[in-house]
Amino acid sequence: MQDASRNEAGKEYLQLRRIIAAKGLLDRQYLYYAVKIPATLAMLALGVAVIVVFDSLWVQMLNAVFLAMVFGQFGFIGHDSGHRQIFRSARNNDLVMLLAGLVTGMTPSWWQDKHNAHHRNPNQLDTDGDIEVSVFAFTEQQALEKRGILRFVVKYQAFLFYPMLLLTSLSLLGGGIAYLIRRERVRYPAAEVTMVAVGIALYLTVLFLFLPPWQAALFILVHRALAGLYMGSVFAPNHKGMPVLDPGAKLDYLRQQVLTARDVLPNPLIDFAYGGLNYQIEHHLFPNMPRNRLKDARQAVKTFCQEKGIPYHETGFWQSQREILGYMHEASAPLRRNPS
């Protein structure tokens, strides 16, 4: 009976995929990316030009904020290429991902390995690394297992969540370097080591060559902190505060992807700032769908879920923040009731 039910659920996903494919929403969007990638490179060039030309501290601090956004946009391009959204050729997608890694310092193989594991089992304990984070707890059991300073952090994690995201950029950089050192499943060992080394060297050279040392150091602090906050803030609404599945939980692909994800209601600013990841349900159902077609898929997916009785959760930006922080405060409640 269980196998028959799972087979029927699998047919539902195939039915939805046929609907999406018939609308042409899985077709490559070469023109979109032919504009998007050069435009993002142009923003990077503008930020570098400001570093070279201006010596005003306040101009450079504003530039650090601007380049934090630009680095986030390169992260989204790397994300799209990692999901094979841009080209049919894996090699061409990998070249774009290496470019994004050169700019941001992230290691493509590490990110892809980690992110694909998340996509296979979103919000599932023991298999999704995004909810197996030492400094946060997403269940009461995780909270009770914390010790030392981590116990204190988790106890007040709803208040510390966004300040802690200021460290995201360093965490992503360090995680990738550690992955390279361990020589895990690195697809392009020489290219990726070179890319990370050259990217960091260029970043530091430009800053310390054209800015006074103390100003360059301050620029790095502001830029990296805000880039981390930006990326972490975009990732957080995707799944945080949505149902967490027990290890070994058996849900069909369609329901696991929909039930554990949250869409943030679209508008042009949200679509740009989130790099399309505000359509998280659609992205998880069709990871290789080009970013600019996710909006068009939203209504079809929403209607299909309503017909099948599958809860489809979307909310506005501010409500998503309330849901995330409220959930994290509730998950850490046992530590406040039992402080020992």
CA 30/CA 156 separation, integer angstroms:
46
Neighbour-count burial for 148-159, b at 16+ CB within 10 Å, e otherwise: eebbebbbebbe
Report the DSSP pairing between strands 263-264 and 314-315.
Answer: parallel
* Residue 258 CA neighbour count, 13 Å, CB half: 22
Residue range of the domain that includes 245: 2-337
User: What is the spatial distance between Cα 118 and Cα 127, in angstroms, rounded to a whole number?
Assistant: 7
Give the pTM: 0.92
Summarised one tens digit per residue, pLDDT across range 138-149 is: 999 999 999 999
Q: What is the pLDDT of residues 202-253, one digit of tens each?
A: 999 999 999 999 999 999 999 999 999 999 999 998 999 999 999 888 899 9
**How would residue 1 be classed by pLDDT, with cut points 50, 70 and 90?**
very low
User: What would the two tokens of residue 319 be?
Assistant: 């409500």
pLDDT digits (tens, 9 = 90+) for 108-159: 999 888 899 899 999 999 888 888 888 999 999 999 999 999 999 999 999 9
pLDDT at 6 over 80: no
Q: Tell me the C-alpha distance between 10 and 20, whole Å.
A: 16
Predicted confidence (pLDDT) per residue in 273-309, tens digit: 999 999 999 999 999 999 999 999 999 999 999 999 9
Q: Which residue has the tokens 């802690």?
A: 164
Predicted local confidence at residue 7, as pLDDT:
63
Instruction: List, in sequence order, every beta strand (DSSP E) within 171-243.
Output: none
State the number of CA atoms in the 13 A half-sphere of 73 facing the CB.
20
Rounded CA separation 235/111 (Å) = 14
Contact present, 324 and 236 (Cβ < 8 Å): yes
Query: CA 97 to CA 78: how far, in whole Å?
Result: 5
* pLDDT tier, 164 (very low <50, low <70, confident <90, very high otherwise): very high
When divided into structural domains, the chain yields a total of: 1
What torsion, rounded to 10 degrees, do the Cα atoms 292, 270, 122, 262 define? -110
Indicate the pLDDT class of residue 4, thresholds 50, 70 and 90. low
pLDDT digits (tens, 9 = 90+) for 59-75: 999 999 999 999 999 99
Quote the tokens at residue 206: 């430009």
Work out the pLDDT band at 3, boundaries 50, 70, 90.
Answer: low
